[in-house]
């Protein structure tokens, strides 16, 4: 865990938790949202902890610097991870009661579409948690896999006219057929209680949709504008079985002794890597990867606001699938929300995207952004941080 405090007066400040994508633990949080540039060791001009105290939590056990000293069975489901996070937060606020009285928010990217609904539900169902949860927000979330798989097949083949098809007509026909088969397999598997069937359906969908897209389009699954020379391999079962943890310059910086000491990490359990493939395999094999967490969102909306924001160039968690997920939610505000039109989102005379909002639920499509904001050089990073500053400061009300 890392805890960069509010850079100014903490009285009355906000304290969001950033739940990062499981497989790109720090790339999706510390570099693009925190206030530090490791290469130069200088503060960024804009970061979330300008106006908030942030907890960066390495979870589930086995990612980042996290470890289980008692050698218990590894966590391999979102529900299991939520219980661990809840226990951590209860203890954190007991240790630091000055923060327990402040509004508390949860934000995350990608597989946080699984983590955050489970964590928020765990918190909100506990009457005496001592956690002042006010809202949640999810960036390009993997929430309802069946919907997301289908939307990948459509988005890759020109469903958004702004981005031309990334696949040939033949490949589009093939991936569309696979999407239908994927939905059928997921429905059968998740009507059963067999994690083996659920994992089998997940691996089929990953290989025949996500891996198929990567292999045949030569485009990134995280940004349709970016070319790639080879697929990531994350979505092919055979490749994933022997894939080592992924690293890069940012993650290597986190192994520097002075960094380990500064954040209070254990020297006995070194940083696991930027992508911990064993944890990824565990979540796929348990069936959690293909499970929909969308049914939890209506219960959350009954108590706190929810913001779902999507970069428009992402493929794997594209905005069309995100829109379908929110419009399919069964909740009292469904009709009002679905009848609302997408409205231009303008700031300082410039259109940044589109949004619609009703009864506590807000959906935002951000122009010219992929799976999430990039490093300090990405102009979309400032847009996301300003979006979160505004959403949190206005207690979940999206006003432009």
Q: Is 47 a catalytic residue?
A: no
Q: How far apart are CA 223 and CA 96, in angstroms?
A: 40
Q: Is the four-CA dihedral 216, 220, 224, 227 of positive or negative sign?
A: negative
Instruction: Please indicate whether residue 371 is annotated as part of the active site.
Output: yes
Q: Which listed residue (107, 144, 288, 314) is catalytic?
A: 314
Determine phi and psi for 328, rounding to 5 degrees: -90, -10
Catalytic, 110? Answer yes
Determine whether 193 is exposed, middle or buried from the number of CB atoms within 10 Å of its CB (0-12, 13-18, 19+). Answer: exposed
Q: How many CA atoms lie within 13 A of 262 on its CB side?
A: 11
CA 366 to chain centre: 15
DSSP, res 207: I
- Spatial neighbors of 326 by CB under 8 A, at least 6 apart, are 308, 337, 361, 363
Radius of gyration of the chain (CA): 20
Sheet harboring 55-56: ordered strands across?
A: 55-56, 15-19, 104-109, 133-139, 306-311, 361-366, 350-358, 343-347
Q: How far apart are CA 318 and CA 310, in angstroms?
A: 7
Distance between CA atoms of 324 and 327, rounded to whole angstroms? 5
What backbone torsions phi and psi does residue 209 show, to the nearest 5 degrees? -120, -60
Catalytic one of 53, 78, 110, 151: 110
H/E run at residue 139: strand 133-139
Distance CA 142, CA 148 (A): 7
Identify whether the C-beta of residue 395 lies closer than 8 Å to the C-beta of residue 135.
yes
Q: Is the peptide bond before 210 cis (omega within 30 degrees of 0)?
A: no
Beta bridge partners of 17: 55, 106
Catalytic residues: 110, 314, 371
């Amino acid at each position: 865990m890392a805890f960069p405090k509010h850079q100014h007066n903490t009285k009355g400040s906000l304290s969001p938790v950033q739940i990062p994508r499981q497989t790109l633990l720090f790339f999706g949080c510390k570099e693009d949202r925190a206030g530090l540039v490791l290469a130069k060791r200088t503060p960024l001009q804009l970061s979330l902890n300008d106006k908030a105290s942030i907890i960066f939590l390495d979870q589930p056990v086995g990612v980042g610097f996290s470890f289980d000293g008692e050698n218990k069975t590894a966590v391999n489901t979102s529900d299991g991870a939520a219980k661990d996070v809840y226990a951590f937060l209860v203890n954190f606020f007991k240790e630091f009661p000055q923060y327990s009285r402040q509004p508390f928010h949860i934000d995350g990217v990608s597989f946080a579409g699984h983590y955050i609904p489970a964590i928020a539900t765990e918190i909100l169902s506990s009457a005496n948690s001592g956690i002042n949860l006010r809202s949640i927000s999810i960036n390009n979330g993997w929430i309802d896999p069946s919907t997301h798989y289908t939307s990948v097949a459509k988005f890759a083949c020109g469903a958004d006219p702004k981005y031309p098809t990334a696949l040939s007509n033949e490949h589009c026909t093939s991936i569309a057929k696979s999407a239908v088969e994927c939905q059928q397999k997921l429905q059968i598997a998740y009507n059963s209680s067999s994690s083996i069937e659920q994992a089998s359906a997940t691996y089929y969908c990953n290989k025949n949709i996500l891996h198929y897209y990567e292999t045949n389009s030569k485009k990134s699954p995280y940004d349709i504008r970016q070319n790639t020379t080879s697929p990531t391999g994350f979505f092919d079962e055979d490749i994933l079985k022997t894939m080592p943890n992924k690293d890069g310059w940012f993650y290597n910086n986190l192994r520097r002794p002075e960094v380990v000491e500064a954040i209070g990490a254990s020297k006995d359990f070194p940083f696991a890597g930027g992508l911990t493939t064993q944890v990824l395999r565990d979540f796929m094999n348990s069936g959690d990867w293909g499970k929909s967490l969308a049914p939890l969102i209506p219960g959350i909306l009954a108590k706190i606001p929810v913001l779902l924001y999507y970069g428009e160039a992402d493929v794997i968690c594209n905005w069309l699938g995100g829109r379908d997920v929110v419009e399919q939610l069964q909740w009292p505000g469904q009709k009002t929300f679905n009848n609302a039109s997408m409205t231009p989102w303008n700031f300082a005379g410039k259109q940044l995207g589109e949004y619609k909002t009703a009864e506590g639920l807000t959906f935002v499509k951000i122009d010219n952004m992929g799976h999430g904001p990039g490093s300090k050089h990405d102009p979309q990073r400032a847009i996301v941080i300003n979006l979160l500053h505004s959403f949190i400061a206005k207690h979940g009300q999206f006003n432009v």
